[in-house]
Amino acid sequence: MPVYLVFFGPPGSGKGTQASRLANTLGVPQISTGDLLRDHVSRGTELGKTAKPIMESGALVPDDLVTAMLKDRLLMEDAAGGALFDGYPRTLPQAEALEGLLASTGSGISAVLFIDVPDEVITGRILKRAELEGRADDTQDAVRERLRVYREKTAPLARHYEAAGLLVTIDGNRGVDEVAEDVRRVASGRS
């Protein structure tokens, strides 16, 4: 049975770092919709042209576009044994779409790892990353908007997954290795 884990948390929570580490350990791909979209932007595809200004403002790319992109990625051979979702789902319609996609192959989400980090820590981390990486959406305004959108559209997913008995909360306000140890423990108990 393939293992599908969702990494969930505010921007800057470290979910991408943790998903990438666990992907190496488990030998399944990390599927980051943010990375996939940035790739479209850099290749100048139609999707990339649509997504670029939306991403730069800190808003969400429309559900149907992101879901179609995710569906294509899931069909690739390396995802046959499972995947770690990083940055998807971000809205309730995306969560429902993912459930439908996985159910169509007789599987489902094993667990949702909520990487919990307080707001004041988040803002500091993202602005520091902006200095290091120069991501186009790491400006102060875009960061503020991403946090607002996160609270409004994405954070409510915690209740959805809690009701489904899938939510596992991990204290993300610790060193990368300590968080990774908890993530590994949860993943091995749930897969």
Report, as residue numbers or ranges, the catalytic residues.
Answer: 15, 90, 125, 135, 146
Contact between 71 and 100 (Cβ < 8 Å): no
Contact between 102 and 54 (Cβ < 8 Å): no
- Contacts of ligand ADP in 131-160 (CB under 6 A): 137, 146
Residue 114: DSSP 8-state: E
CA dist., res. 94 & res. 100, Å (int): 10
Label residues 154-178 b or e (16+ Cβ within 10 Å = b).
beebbebbeeeebbbbbebeeeeee
Instruction: Please identify the residue of the shown chain whose CB is closest to the bound ligand ADP.
Output: 34
Q: Which of 14, 18, 19, 33 binds ligand ADP (CB under 6 A)?
A: 33
Task: Give the count of residues interacting with ligand ADP (CB under 6 A).
Answer: 18
172 binds ligand ADP (CB under 6 A): no
94 binds ligand ADP (CB under 6 A): yes
**Which residues of the chain form contacts with ligand ADP (CB under 6 A)?**
11-12, 33-34, 37, 54-55, 58-61, 66, 87-88, 90, 94, 137, 146
